Amino acid sequence: MFVYALRRILYTIPIAIGVSLVCFALIHLAPGDPLSSVIPEGASAEMIAQIRTAYGFDRPLPVQYLKWLGHVVTGDFGTSIMTRRPVLAEVLPAVLNTLTLASAAVLFGFALGCLFGVISGYVAGTPTDRSVAAFSITGVSIPHYWLGMVLIVIFAVNLNVLPATGMGEGGSGSFGFNWDSLQYLILPALTLSVIPAGIIARAVRGTVAEVRKQDFMQTLYAKGLPGRRVFVHVVKNALPAVLAVMGLQLAQLLGGSILVETVFAWPGTGFLLNNAIFTRDLPMLQGTILVLAMFFVLINLLVDILQTAVDPRIKRA
């Protein structure tokens, strides 16, 4: 187990290098000149050459990459073209905001998904099961930015009980665990949680129903175990498969949602990406994407290790 975890951690190094390569290449793959937003209109050819040299674009690509990588690993992600502030100083608070939003959505979504999934897995084939299935399919298929707008109209505009957008007066700096701050979290988190809730409900339902069809369930009942103890067996058997799905959903949520964060003006990574794309702020775009990609890699690593820990049949040592 420990050896496996260690090896799995080592495997992430080449993956991380690959990810950084892609992020680096992004600048050169993006259509148009990466410097177009920096070079003033009507600049002379000499001036353009000067700017190119200043940004290091005259060097061969591998050198550029290594230099960039060197900066990145020391925490220097460059300077935002728009705000003239270090990219990291912009990305980190955004990551924190997205994390806040994602955690709330995960709490909502996973709890709902597990609850409904277990219920319908236990009554598979009944009308209750079918109505849960209908709900989760609806949840998965509703466009969530649209749902977000509907929620804003209902709760912020018509009922006027919750704020429509933003993170509150002091922005992300003063966000805390109190109603003044949390009320801003409710609508976007609810909106974001619907899709994972639906996906997880379906995954849990399938896995639970499958486990309950196994022969050993007979043995558990024949031993005279009470239902709650049998449930422990069901959970432990279903866990590895469900964890894998949860990991994917978690990674997705942590990536932030451009649409939902934009609808709710939530200053997270999605919001940041959206701005960076529209202003052609390449260093910002690159930095944000790199951080998000690293998150994905990390979550995958955690899920893998967790799965190995809970399922004795996976022997990977």
Partner 1 sequence: MSAVSKQAPLVEVEDLTVRFTGRDLDIRVVNGVSFTLDRGSSMCVLGESGSGKSVTLRALMRLFPPTATLDGRIRVDGVDVLALGENQLRQIRGGLISMIFQEPMTALDPVFTIGQQIAETLVYHEGISFRAAHARALSLLELVQVPSAKRRLEAYPHELSGGLRQRAMIALALACKPKLLLADEPTTALDATVQIQILLLLRELQHELGMATIFVTHDLGVACEVADKIAVMYAGKFVEAGSAEQIIGAPRHPYTQGLMNSTIHADMRGVKLDPIPGAPPDLTDLPPGCPFAPRCSVAREPCLGLQPELVALEGGQKARCLQYGAAPSFAHAPLLQAS
Rounded Cα–Cα distance for residues 26 and 45 (Å): 25
Interaction of residue 221 with partner 1, rule CB under 8 A = yes
Binding to partner 1 by residue 130, rule CB under 8 A?
no
- In the list 8, 52, 59, 233, the residue contacting partner 1 (rule: CB under 8 A) is 233
Q: At what angle do helices 282-310 and 269-278 cross, to 10 degrees?
A: 150
CA distance 13 to 35: 31
* Span interacting with partner 1, options 34-42, 164-172, 224-232, 288-296, rule CB under 8 A: 224-232
**Is residue 127 involved in binding partner 1 (CB under 8 A)?**
no
Residue 88: CB atoms within 10 A of its CB come to 18
Per CB under 8 A, the segment of 69-77, 113-121, 220-228, 273-281 that binds partner 1 is 220-228
Instruction: Give the one residue of 9, 130, 219, 316 binding partner 1; rule: CB under 8 A.
Output: 219
Return the SS3 of 57: coil
By beta-carbon proximity to partner 1, the closer residue of 130 and 236 is: 236
What's the rounded Cα separation, in Å, for the pair 280 and 35? 9
Q: Per rule CB under 8 A, is residue 226 in the interface with partner 1?
A: yes
Residue 106 or 303 with smaller CB distance to partner 1: 303
- Residue 215 interacting with partner 1 (CB under 8 A): yes
Residues in contact with partner 1, counted by CB under 8 A, come to a total of: 20
Structure tokens at 179: 């109603």
Amino acid symbol at 229: R
Report the chain's terminal Cα–Cα distance, integer Å. Answer: 6
313 binds partner 1 (CB under 8 A): yes
